[in-house]
Amino acid sequence: MREKRELCGRTAAITGASSGIGRAIAIALAEAGAHCFVHARQNQEGAQQTAELVRAHGVDSNVFLADLTLELNCDDLVRKAWQWRDGVDIWVNNAGTDVLTGAARNWSFAAKLEQLWLMDVRGTMHLSRSVGHKMKERGRGIILNMGWDQAERGMEGDSGELFAAIKGAITCFSRSLAQSLAPAVRVNCLAPGWIQTSWGVAAPDHWQHRAKKESLLNRWGTDADVAQVARFLASDAAAFVNGQVIPINGGFRYGATSHDQ
């Protein structure tokens, strides 16, 4: 059985943790005993709320705001996180650009692609390589990146094209980084399917139907579903899991297309 505090004394850094999946991962790691360095782009209030939820589990937390589309900010984040508790054991690259809700949903395809590339790809790669180098020098560490379960097979439409390209890049990068940093550092990629984020809650009936239809478990995934996989991969129970892309989708139902109603 899993130790209740299997990450006791370890330090984790989670990007994009002011809400949603990032917050859920921070809480899950805190439940396991990890101190959590919480990053957000600009949502100070949300990040502080996450930090308080982390501290409720008897561990420490700190907050840092930064726009990770800028490489200097990425360097600053790694430096501050590393200095906070003299090293980072677990690094989770969850931050990503939201192009599905708010004003961004009306951006052009080119504008969405540019922002996704700067944050989800270049930002993730820069952070992973920077902290990965430090971890390898120290002789231990875990990096978790955020992919997408449909990146390899693709999905129709503008969003499908965008995310297949962006998350496909992260998937391939993660596999390569695992080889570069082995055996000292483990690198794995989470690949969530239909997770009911803020977009999913308000999604039209067509998408509500599709999300359930494409999962063998016939339901949306939750933030907690992703967080518990992250907790496992960050633990010694996953000590022989490396360079893998882990789908978190309840089992993809092949043949369930957007035309099924």
| Residue 3 belongs to some domain of the structure | no
| Residue 2 belongs to some domain of the structure | no
Residue 260 has pLDDT above 60, yes or no: no
| Residue 259 belongs to some domain of the structure | no
| Residue 261 belongs to some domain of the structure | no
**What are the residues facing 188 on neighbouring strands?**
144
Compute the CA torsion angle 15, 18, 19, 24 (nearest 10 deg).
60
Stretch (H or E) spanning 46: helix 44-55
| Residue 186 belongs to some domain of the structure | yes
Alpha helices (runs of H) in 61-202, residue ranges in sequence order = 71-84, 109-116, 124-138, 157-181, 198-201
How many CA atoms does the CB half-sphere of 201 hold within 13 Å?
Answer: 6
| Residue 252 belongs to some domain of the structure | no
pLDDT, tens digit, 9 for 90 and up, residues 109-161: 999 999 999 999 999 999 999 999 999 999 999 999 999 998 888 889 898 99
The count of domains in the chain is 1
| Residue 257 belongs to some domain of the structure | no
User: Which CATH number covers residue 226?
Assistant: 3.40.50.720
Domain containing residue 40: 11-247
Average pLDDT score over residue span 100-108: 88
List of residues 6+ apart from 252 with CB closer than 8 A: 149, 150, 193, 214, 215, 216
Q: What is the pLDDT of residue 222?
A: 95
pLDDT band at 23 (very low <50, low <70, confident <90, very high): very high
Residue 258 has pLDDT above 60, yes or no: no
Residue 3 has pLDDT above 70, yes or no: no
| Residue 224 belongs to some domain of the structure | yes
Q: How does strand 90-93 pair with strand 61-65? A: unpaired
Q: How far apart are the first and last CA of the chain?
A: 42
- In the block, which residue shows the tokens 């035309």? 259
As given in the structure block, the two tokens for residue 128 are 């992973």
- In the block, which residue shows the tokens 């990503």? 96
